[in-house]
Chains A and B, each alone.
Chain A
Amino acid sequence: KQEVTQIPAALSVPEGENLVLNCSFTDSAIYNLQWFRQDPGKGLTSLLLIQSSQREQTSGRLNASLDKSSGRSTLYIAASQPGDSATYLCCGSARQLTFGSGTQLTVLP
């Protein structure tokens, strides 16, 4: 059974810092790994999707990497802004989609 773990559970940084969110998964036979953003009480917004054959994806200030052999993915956020404050969820797809519990990010002005 796939298990997805996200560390840290919560993170608070000053504006302008670069930061890394971590995601680990137990089943390396994933089809892809997707990072989402969730604002309080809202749905999920897709940020980046990395197929199993890829190593990383970039979108603006965001960069996500995938290492299937070690069962890890990271989301790198450059030059963080207060508007980046949200919960970030990673999700691995194997036989079904399995989400981590998320990292709650607060960027302080």
Chain B
Amino acid sequence: DAGVTQSPTHLIKTRGQHVTLRCSPISGHKSVSWYQQVLGQGPQFIFQYYEKEERGRGNFPDRFSARQFPNYSSELNVNALLLGDSALYLCASSMVVALNNEQFFGPGTRLTVL
């Protein structure tokens, strides 16, 4: 079975632009979460979606938004990019919304903002 997939693998943008990152969960998983990992730090929680509804939000500005589609795939959108948004963006899926369920991570999207 395919694991969590993310696209694109790498992305270079300039300040002020917007970006859309995509994630496909493991087949049968209904929960998708997004994380930002800045170099040298652990991942920081951005959003969790389950059954197309937002179930959790981390401490990120409103420039960050996400949505989940009927097939449980998800998009993360970031507007008005800042240099500090440069990071590895990770997507994780799990079968249910409960946080005691094992999380499976994708390979990430490396975003560079110039």
Are A46's CB and B103's CB within 8 A?
A: yes
Please tell me if B90 contacts chain A, counting CB pairs below 8 Å. yes
What chain A residues lie within 8 Å of B100 (beta carbons)? 31-32, 51-52, 93
Please report the number of residue pairs spanning A and B whose Cβ atoms sit closer than 8 angstroms.
62
Shortest CB distance A63–B (Å): 18
Give the secondary structure class of A's interface: strand
Are A46's CB and B99's CB within 8 A?
A: no
Total interface residues in chain B, CB < 8 Å: 27
Please tell me if B68 contacts chain A, counting CB pairs below 8 Å. no
Are A93's CB and B42's CB within 8 A?
A: no
Please tell me if B102 contacts chain A, counting CB pairs below 8 Å. yes
| Given contact pairs A42-B108, A96-B48, A96-B56, A49 touches B42 in the complex (Cβ within 8 A) | no
Total interface residues in chain A, CB < 8 Å: 26
Are A97's CB and B33's CB within 8 A?
A: yes
Are A4's CB and B42's CB within 8 A?
A: yes
Please tell me if A81 contacts chain B, counting CB pairs below 8 Å. no
What chain B residues lie within 8 Å of A45 (beta carbons)? 105
What chain B residues lie within 8 Å of A51 (beta carbons)? 100
Are A97's CB and B99's CB within 8 A?
A: yes
Interface-located stretch among A12-20, A68-76, A98-106? A98-106
Please tell me if A94 contacts chain B, counting CB pairs below 8 Å. yes
Give 15 new A-B contacts, CB below 8 A, not counting A31-B98, A51-B100.
Answer: A34-B102, A34-B103, A41-B110, A43-B106, A43-B108, A44-B43, A44-B92, A46-B103, A46-B104, A89-B43, A93-B99, A96-B48, A96-B58, A97-B43, A97-B45
List residues of A whose CB falls within 8 A of some B CB.
Answer: 4, 31-32, 34, 36, 41-46, 49, 51-52, 89, 91, 93-102
